[in-house]
Structure formats: structure tokens, C-alpha cells
């Protein structure tokens, strides 16, 4: 690129950045959203803690004579208090209506055999059954094993939890960040592209409607204007991401150790390249769509389409986590515009070999250049169409023009 066009691109990028970084929309999206996320997450955590620690009194009719003791051992340390009742079910129902306890269960041999224990409540929405389910399941398991003649130590050994610990034969240590960071990169890219791309698209539509674009094209070419806008809004996206990530790390560090979330430098560079190439691809689509629209209503529909297409692999996320190295998924990791999301989902499920990281990055880079080139043609052809929305026939004509 010659010096003068590069100077024009930087000039447009600087102008777009400073024009939009001070707008109320950008400031609200950048600072209000993470603040709301922190408030909502904190409120959810606080409410969850209060709900799970809320005291419950459960009456138990134990017709077996032995389950009550097992259940008493399991509810220790929980907000559940047990009351053993030897009277009739009608008497217990009267106590439930009088709010003497939260609920009552009836246990007999038949219920223990098929695992379906009746729980009686005055209001089905009143009792958090999940709080009771875990200790009751453990108590029934302990009761069954005790009935088989096992002692306490054998019961503990038989009911101890099993977990899978992954070890690589190459000696590489698994980090939490290796599974979480690709998903974070994908979601951050999507949200940053939605917000900055929305401002970019509506800005272009507004410039077309106000005929400002005629003045801009008298000083710079359409390609320089496109590249400058993409660079400027890319900087805006990085500012947003820095604020969001910084806020998230500060909030998370209050509850968990975030040391495992930090990446080695090499992995951080790889994720950054995926992010940059993916942003170029999506931003060029947003700019091209904005140039084809004459009003904001059409732009809002186009925005949903631009975001939905790269997100399509998200709808099949379970397949990526179950069989990340399946042939069809490897192919999809190289096919634009699905390649970015597909490869990041695969990286969350498994460690890709170096050659595949290289090929997917190359495919993403080439596809971003291709979409930038095609987007520039649409952008150049649609900027001066002030009074109508560009149709499919016009798009075909613009894309076929050399």
C-alpha cells in the first residue's frame, strides 16, 4: 500500500475512533454492561446462597425403622432438620397444614426398592427439592448397602465419588484456561462484533442518509474509507474488551483463584490472531451490509444475519465436545465464515496439533482478506445509492466487477 493511501486509512481510523469513543451509546455499552453483569452475578450468588441455606424442617414417617438414622447422618451440615413421626399420615398432614414443618416423606420397603419416595407439601413451589434430593439419595444408598451386610467402612468405600483425571502422554499439564479460553474468545468476539459492528453499520447508514459520504469520498477512496472504519472500530472493540475482561477478572478474583486462567504467551498470541482475523471478517460484512441499506430498519435485519451465520456452529456445540476431531468438523474448521467459531469450539474440547492451528489460521486469514475484498466492492458500489436498498441483482453485479 502506498504512503498516501495508508495515511488516509489511519486518518479515517483516528477520526472514527475519537468520534465514537465519546458517544453515549459506546460509553453505556462499555461501562454499563459489565457493571450490570457484576451486579446480576453478585445478586444471583447472594440469592442462591440464601436459598440453599434457608432452613427446612422435614417430617419423616419411616416404616422401615432404619432409614431415619441413615438420613440423619446425611443431613448433618445442611439446613435440613428432621422430625421423626410415629403417628398416622392424617396427623402429619394436619401438622403440615399448620406449618409445623415444610414437608414430610413416607418411606417403606416398596418405596426403597423402586426408588420412588413420596414427598408431601402444602404448596409444590414452597420446597426446594434439590436440597433434599442429594442427602436422601445417599441415605437410601447407604441403607441398601447396610442391608447387604456391609460395615460403615465398606459403605464409604463403595459410595465414594469417582473422577477422571486427564494426563497427557507428552507430559503436558492441563490448565483450566485451555478449555475455557477458546469459548471466552469466541463469545467476546461475537459480543464485541455485535456492539461495534452495530455502531459501524448505523454510522454508515446515517452518513449515506445525510450525504456526508459524498464529502468523505471527495478526499479518500471507498477502499480507504472502509479500511479506516474497520481499523477505527477495531480499536473501539479492543477498548471494550479490555474494560469487560478487566471487570470480569476483578469480579471473579473475589470468589475463585484466577491463576489458572492466565495463558502462556504463545497461546495468547494464537488466540489474539484468531480474534483479529475473525474481527476483520465480521467487520467487513457489517460495513458492506451498511452500505447496501437506506434506513436503520433494514440494517437491524442485516445485523442479525451477519451475526447468525458465524454463530451457526454454536448450535452444534455438543458435537464439537463429543467428537472434536471428526472429519466433518475438521473440514468445517477451514470453511469460511464458519471456521472461526468451529475451530475455537474444537480447541475448547481438545488440543489441536500445530499443523492444524497453522492451517486454520491461514484459512481464516485468507478468508478475512477475501471478505474484505468482496466487502470493499459492495461498499464502493452501495455508498452512493441513497434512495434505495441494494438488491441481490445489484450485489451480483458489484461482486462480479473487477
| All structural domains of the chain | 3-34+175-400 (no CATH), 56-156 (3.40.190.10)
pTM value is 0.63
Instruction: Determine the pLDDT at residue 293.
Output: 72
Q: Give the strands of the sheet with 56-62, arranged side by side.
A: 80-84, 56-62, 103-107, 119-121
Residue 278: what pLDDT? 81
Q: Mind listing the pLDDT tens digit for each residue in 181-220?
A: 677 766 776 677 667 777 777 777 777 777 777 777 778 8
CB 172 within 8 A of CB 181: no
For residue 1, what pLDDT is reported? Answer: 43
CA 352 to chain centre: 21
How far apart CA 326 and CA 308 sit, in angstroms, is 23
**Would you tell me how many other CB atoms lie within 10 Å of the CB of residue 157?**
11
State the pLDDT at residue 263.
66
Angle of CA points 154, 158, 159, to nearest 5°: 120
Please tell me the distance from the alpha carbon of residue 375 to that of residue 382, in angstroms, as a whole number.
Answer: 10
**How high is the pLDDT of residue 388?**
63
- Going by C-alpha positions, the residue among 289, 271, 402 that lies closest to residue 347 is 271
Encode the chain (402 residues) as per-residue pLDDT tens digits.
Answer: 444 567 888 888 888 888 888 888 778 878 887 788 778 777 777 776 666 667 778 888 888 888 888 888 888 877 788 888 877 778 778 887 887 787 888 888 887 777 788 888 876 555 566 677 888 888 888 888 877 777 767 767 776 766 656 555 554 555 555 567 677 766 776 677 667 777 777 777 777 777 777 777 778 887 788 888 888 888 887 788 788 777 777 776 666 665 655 667 777 788 888 888 888 887 877 777 777 776 655 555 566 667 777 778 888 888 888 888 888 989 988 888 888 888 888 887 888 888 999 999 999 889 888 888 877 777 777 666 656 666 667 667 766 665
pLDDT at residue 381 in the model? 72
pLDDT, position 2: 47
Helix (H, G, I), strand (E, B) or coil at 391: coil
Confidence at residue 110, expressed as pLDDT on a 0 to 100 scale:
80
C-alpha distances in Å from residue 77, one per residue of 59, 66, 122, 136, 351: 18, 21, 26, 14, 41
Interatomic CA distance for residues 29 and 31, integer angstroms: 6
The whole-number pLDDT of residue 275 equals 80
Q: Which phi and psi angles does 329 have, rounded to 5°?
A: -75, -35
Amino acid at each position: 500500500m502506498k504512503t498516501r493511501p495508508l495515511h488516509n486509512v489511519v486518518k479515517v481510523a483516528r477520526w472514527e475512533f475519537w468520534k465514537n469513543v465519546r458517544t453515549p451509546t459506546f460509553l453505556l455499552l462499555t461501562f454499563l454492561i459489565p457493571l450490570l453483569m457484576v451486579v446480576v452475578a453478585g445478586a444471583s450468588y447472594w440469592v442462591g446462597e440464601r436459598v440453599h441455606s434457608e432452613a427446612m424442617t422435614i417430617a419423616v414417617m419411616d416404616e422401615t425403622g432404619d432409614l431415619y438414622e441413615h438420613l440423619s447422618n446425611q443431613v448433618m451440615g445442611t439446613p435440613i432438620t428432621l422430625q421423626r413421626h410415629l403417628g398416622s399420615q392424617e396427623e402429619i398432614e394436619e401438622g403440615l397444614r399448620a406449618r409445623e414443618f415444610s414437608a414430610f416423606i413416607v418411606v417403606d420397603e416398596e418405596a426403597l426398592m423402586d426408588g420412588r419416595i413420596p414427598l408431601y407439601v402444602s404448596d409444590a413451589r414452597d420446597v426446594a427439592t434439590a436440597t433434599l434430593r442429594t442427602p436422601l439419595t445417599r441415605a437410601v444408598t447407604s441403607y441398601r448397602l447396610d442391608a447387604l451386610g456391609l460395615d460403615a467402612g465398606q459403605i464409604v468405600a463403595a459410595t465414594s465419588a469417582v473422577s477422571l483425571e486427564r494426563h497427557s502422554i507428552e507430559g503436558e499439564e492441563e490448565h483450566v484456561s485451555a478449555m475455557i479460553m477458546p469459548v471466552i474468545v469466541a463469545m467476546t468476539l461475537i459480543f464485541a462484533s455485535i456492539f461495534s459492528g452495530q455502531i459501524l453499520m448505523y454510522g454508515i447508514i446515517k452518513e449515506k442518509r445525510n450525504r456526508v459520504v459524498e464529502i468523505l469520498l471527495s478526499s479518500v477512496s471507498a477502499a480507504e474509507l472502509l479500511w479506516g472504519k474497520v481499523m477505527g472500530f477495531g480499536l473501539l472493540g479492543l477498548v471494550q474488551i479490555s474494560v469487560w475482561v478487566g471487570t470480569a477478572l476483578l469480579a471473579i478474583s473475589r470468589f475463585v483463584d484466577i491463576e489458572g486462567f492466565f495463558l502462556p504467551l504463545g497461546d495468547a498470541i494464537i488466540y489474539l490472531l484468531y480474534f483479529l482475523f475473525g474481527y476483520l471478517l465480521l467487520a467487513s460484512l457489517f460495513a458492506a451490509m451498511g452500505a447496501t441499506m437506506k434506513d436503520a430498519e433494514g440494517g437491524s435485519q442485516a445485523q442479525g444475519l451477519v451475526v447468525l451465520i458465524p454463530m451457526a456452529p454454536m448450535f452444534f456445540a455438543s458435537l464439537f465436545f463429543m467428537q472434536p476431531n471428526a472429519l466433518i468438523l475438521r473440514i468445517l474448521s477451514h470453511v469460511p465464515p464458519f471456521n472461526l467459531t468451529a475451530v475455537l469450539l474444537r480447541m475448547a474440547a481438545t488440543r489441536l496439533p500445530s499443523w492444524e492451528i497453522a492451517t486454520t489460521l491461514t484459512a481464516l486469514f485468507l478468508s478475512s482478506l477475501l471478505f474484505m475484498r468482496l466487502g470493499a466492492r459492495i461498499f464502493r458500489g452501495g455508498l452512493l445509492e441513497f434512495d434505495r436498498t441494494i438488491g441481490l441483482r445489484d450485489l451480483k453485479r458489484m461482486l462480479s466487477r473487477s
